[in-house]
């Protein structure tokens, strides 16, 4: 059977297109939509993860220059607090509210005035993450009825982003199921069931796309083109008096905030996003360890630059770090050496080189009070996203022979250990991928712990987090790594979407919690804004608009580039979710530090 056969939807029925994020489901549904429009069949396209303008551009890129009969339900823009550009072909909804989706689809179908309309739902993942199994009721009561009236329905769902039993319940409502995965350069399309089609497997070769490494190569030129800004940043990192980049709030934030953003985002791809963050952080560290970047370091030279450039100048720097003796010299015995100094300064933990259990080509490090993992006792997964890949990447940058170093956690607070340990290896590590991938239940457990901690802070005045050897703050540097470099598009548009949606989901949940606790609207908003200031996210004020001066999210963006559009992805989603739950209002960012404004500002709608 050909691929074209299943890209021609049946006359009616719900077809579920399932697979992990990044397996090509959206491209598949775009082709189905194009085929329907070519056949003069109207299309209702429900988009929950990008704007109608983005979808239209992608369809045009596939050869559909003038989409005819295409209508949109935009359940993305309002949900995450983006500016709504009114379009005659679009009705706006909120993917938090399944009833609003039903109403919007019905209005468009009434406007079209005939059956045979293809309904594309891209995707059901975000509504599921907001509403849980309410989406099953939505499919059975609304989508099934819509289909029974003579309209085919194509629904996309990201597997791995929810409980397995929930995925089974959702699949039970479908008349057809197609699964997609990528293996060894091919897209595997498994037709599990489909009206009038026997189960089959279709293999489609795919071209290699852009890699994180190639994306980072483009980023390097941006960084190197602004040496003044980089020197200012490294002066701040060196801890010199008066060198803080954020003059009002300083260059440290409560470590709760980057963890909150990081794990809110992971919900949208628990398996793929951790691997991507690992590779991004490793590439960044390898670049930062090159002589070209170290030349930006101020005098006196900052930590690694001080040691590296001095040793390199004297000809004493080892060609590689495979041997324990060379690593021991670099770490100055069991202490962390330059790494230890950097970690203590940025308050990401205390590093110790484990000389006794290390061996050539396998070096072990212990981290006490890791800012990535602290207070997540025994959640069922290794959690560190910053120090292990960062140190592996730096070794790649330092070495003259260019070994590809990797790091994997062998012990972690998240696994029930009293501290974190990881090993550094010049080569591949067989267990690395399984260690990085997270189960959706684990991510949900981590996120629920964060939400409970925030609830206790807002309602009972309890601490968010505290460490006996450090205070609760961590430098902007780990925060940037936790947020995943969204501002230079290294992580891709899907990750930006997840930051927005993760923020919206978190803001909505905490807003509902405060309302259930009996707080009035103004008091709920006031407490959340006090929380943002407590975390040193920035200086928050609100009158007709909301302003945050020195907002850490956009401030980190402005270190490297000036954007055309506001780029407070998580912050905007969070505030928008809060206002939708507490005041039934929405916000949109109209000014941003990263776009050249002196502060970030949100209009209340």
Instruction: Please report the DSSP string for 350-418 in residue order.
Output: EEEE-TTT-BTTBEEEEEES-TTTTT-TT-SS----SHHHHHHHHHHHH-SS---EEEEEEE-GGGT-S
Same domain, 547 and 410: no
pLDDT tens digits, 188-221: 999 999 888 889 999 988 876 667 776 667 666 6
Residues 6+ apart with CB under 8 A from 316: none
Same domain, 418 and 284: yes
Question: Considering 412, 438, 464, which residue would you say is the last residue of a domain?
Answer: 438
Report how far residue 459's alpha carbon sits from residue 32's, in angstroms, rounded to the nearest whole number: 49
Same domain, 220 and 360: yes
User: Which range (95-99, 264-268, 315-319) has the least confidence?
Assistant: 315-319
Instruction: Examine residue 567 and state whether it is found in any structural domain, yes or no.
Output: yes
Same domain, 222 and 170: no
Instruction: Examine residue 30 and state whether it is found in any structural domain, yes or no.
Output: yes
Q: What pLDDT does residue 165 have?
A: 93
Question: Considering 153, 179, 205, which residue would you say is the last residue of a domain?
Answer: 205
**How many CB atoms lie under 10 A from the CB of residue 378?**
11
Same domain, 475 and 546: yes
Instruction: Examine residue 258 and state whether it is found in any structural domain, yes or no.
Output: no
Instruction: Examine residue 516 and state whether it is found in any structural domain, yes or no.
Output: yes
The tokens of 371 are what? Answer: 């800012």
Count of structural domains, the chain: 3
Same domain, 428 and 462: no
Under the banding of pLDDT at 50, 70 and 90, the label for residue 493 is confident
DSSP label of 84: P
pTM for the whole structure: 0.91
Mean pLDDT of all residues belonging to the chain = 88
CATH number for position 522: 3.30.1380.20
- pLDDT of 518 above 90: yes
The tokens of 539 are what? Answer: 């200086």
Q: Are 259 and 372 in contact (CB under 8 A)?
A: yes
Q: Any alpha helices (H) in 90-174, and if so which ranges?
A: 98-112, 125-131, 134-138, 144-148, 164-171
Mode of pairing for the β-strands spanning 363-368 and 420-426: antiparallel
With b meaning 16 or more CB within 10 Å and e meaning fewer, what string describes 144-174? bebbeeebbbbbbbbbbbbeeebbebbbebb
Instruction: Examine residue 182 and state whether it is found in any structural domain, yes or no.
Output: yes
Q: Look at 211 and 259; give whichever has higher pLDDT.
A: 259
**Torsion angle, alpha carbons of 275, 436, 28, 98, to 10:** -110
Q: Give residue 497's domain range.
A: 456-604
Q: Are 562 and 600 in contact (CB under 8 A)?
A: no
Instruction: Examine residue 451 and state whether it is found in any structural domain, yes or no.
Output: no
Q: Look at 237 and 162; give whichever has higher pLDDT.
A: 162
Instruction: Examine residue 151 and state whether it is found in any structural domain, yes or no.
Output: yes
Same domain, 201 and 225: no
Same domain, 408 and 477: no
Q: What pLDDT does residue 6 have?
A: 86
- pLDDT of 488 above 90: no
Q: What pLDDT does residue 196 have?
A: 83
Under the banding of pLDDT at 50, 70 and 90, the label for residue 12 is confident
Q: Are 374 and 384 in contact (CB under 8 A)?
A: no
Question: Considering 410, 438, 466, which residue would you say is the last residue of a domain?
Answer: 438
C-alpha to C-alpha distances, 4 to 1, 7, 158, 209, nearest whole angstrom = 8, 5, 22, 23
Same domain, 341 and 434: yes
CATH number for position 21: 3.40.50.300
Same domain, 29 and 177: yes
Q: What pLDDT does residue 583 have?
A: 96
Residue 17 forms beta bridges with which residues?
A: 156, 178
Instruction: Examine residue 260 and state whether it is found in any structural domain, yes or no.
Output: no
User: Which range (2-6, 353-357, 482-486) has the least confidence?
Assistant: 482-486
Element at 351 (helix H, strand E)? strand 350-353
Under the banding of pLDDT at 50, 70 and 90, the label for residue 306 is low
Same domain, 85 and 196: yes
Q: What pLDDT does residue 412 have?
A: 98
Same domain, 522 and 410: no
CATH number for position 353: 3.30.1380
Query: Max Cα separation, the chain?
Result: 80
Q: Look at 276 and 220; give whichever has higher pLDDT.
A: 276
pLDDT tens digits, 520-532: 999 999 999 999 9
């Amino acid at each position: 059977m050909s691929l074209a056969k299943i890209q021609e939807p049946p006359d009616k029925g719900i077809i579920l297109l399932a697979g992990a994020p990044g397996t090509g489901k959206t491209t598949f549904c775009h082709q189905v939509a194009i085929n329907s429009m070519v056949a003069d069949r109207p299309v209702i396209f429900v988009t929950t993860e990008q704007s109608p303008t983005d979808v239209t551009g992608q369809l045009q890129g596939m050869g559909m220059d003038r989409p005819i009969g295409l209508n949109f339900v935009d359940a993305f823009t309002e949900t995450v607090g983006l500016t709504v550009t009114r379009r005659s072909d679009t009705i706006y909804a909120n993917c938090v509210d399944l009833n609003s989706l039903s109403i919007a689809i019905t209005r468009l179908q009434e406007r079209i005035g005939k059956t045979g309309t293809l309904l594309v739902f891209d995707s059901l993942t975000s509504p599921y993450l907001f509403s849980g199994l309410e989406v099953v009721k939505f499919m059975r009561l609304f989508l099934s009825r819509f289909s029974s009236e003579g309209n085919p329905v194509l629904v996309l769902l990201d597997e791995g982003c929810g409980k397995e039993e929930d995925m089974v319940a959702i699949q039970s409502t479908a008349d057809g199921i197609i699964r997609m995965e990528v293996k060894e350069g091919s897209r595997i399309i498994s037709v599990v069931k489909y009206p009038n089609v026997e189960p089959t497997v279709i293999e489609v070769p795919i071209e290699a796309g852009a890699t994180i490494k190639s994306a980072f190569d483009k980023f390097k030129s941006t960084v190197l083109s602004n040496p003044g800004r980089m020197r200012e940043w490294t002066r701040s990192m060196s801890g010199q008096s008066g060198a803080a980049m954020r003059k009002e709030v300083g260059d440290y934030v409560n470590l709760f905030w980057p963890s909150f953003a990081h794990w809110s985002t992971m919900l949208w791809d628990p398996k793929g996003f951790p691997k991507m963050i690992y590779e991004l952080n490793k590439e960044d560290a390898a670049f930062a360890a090159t002589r070209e970047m170290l030349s930006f370091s101020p005098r006196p030279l900052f930590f690694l630059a001080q040691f590296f450039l001095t040793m390199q100048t004297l000809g004493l720097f080892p060609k590689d770090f495979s041997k324990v003796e060379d690593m021991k010299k670099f770490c100055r015995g069991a202490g962390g050496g330059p790494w230890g100094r950097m970690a203590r300064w940025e308050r990401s933990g205390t590093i110790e080189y484990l000389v006794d259990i290390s061996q050539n080509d396998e070096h072990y490090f212990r981290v006490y009070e890791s800012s990535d993992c602290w207070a997540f006792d025994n959640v069922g997964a290794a959690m560190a996203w910053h120090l292990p890949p960062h140190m592996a990447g730096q070794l790649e940058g330092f070495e003259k022979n260019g070994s590809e170093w990797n790091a994997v956690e062998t012990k972690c607070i998240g696994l029930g250990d009293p501290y974190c340990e990881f090993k550094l290896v010049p080569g591949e590590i067989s267990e690395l991928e399984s260690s990085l991938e997270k189960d959706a239940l684990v991510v949900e457990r981590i996120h629920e712990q964060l939400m409970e901690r925030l609830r206790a802070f807002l309602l009972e005045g309890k601490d968010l987090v505290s460490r006996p050897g450090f205070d609760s703050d961590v430098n902007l540097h780990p925060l940037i790594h936790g947020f995943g470099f969204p501002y230079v598009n290294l992580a891709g548009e899907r990750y930006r979407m997840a930051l927005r949606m993760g923020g919206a989901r978190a803001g909505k949940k905490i807003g509902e919690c405060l309302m259930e606790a009996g707080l009035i609207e103004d008091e709920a908003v006031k407490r959340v804004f006090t929380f943002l200031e407590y975390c040193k996210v920035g200086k928050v004020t609100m009158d007709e608009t909301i302003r945050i001066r020195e907002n850490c999210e956009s401030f980190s963006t402005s270190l490297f580039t000036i954007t055309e559009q506001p780029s407070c992805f998580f912050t905007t989603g969070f505030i928008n979710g809060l206002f939708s739950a507490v005041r039934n209002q929405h916000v949109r960012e109209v000014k941003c530090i990263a776009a050249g404004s002196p502060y970030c500002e949100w209009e209340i709608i």
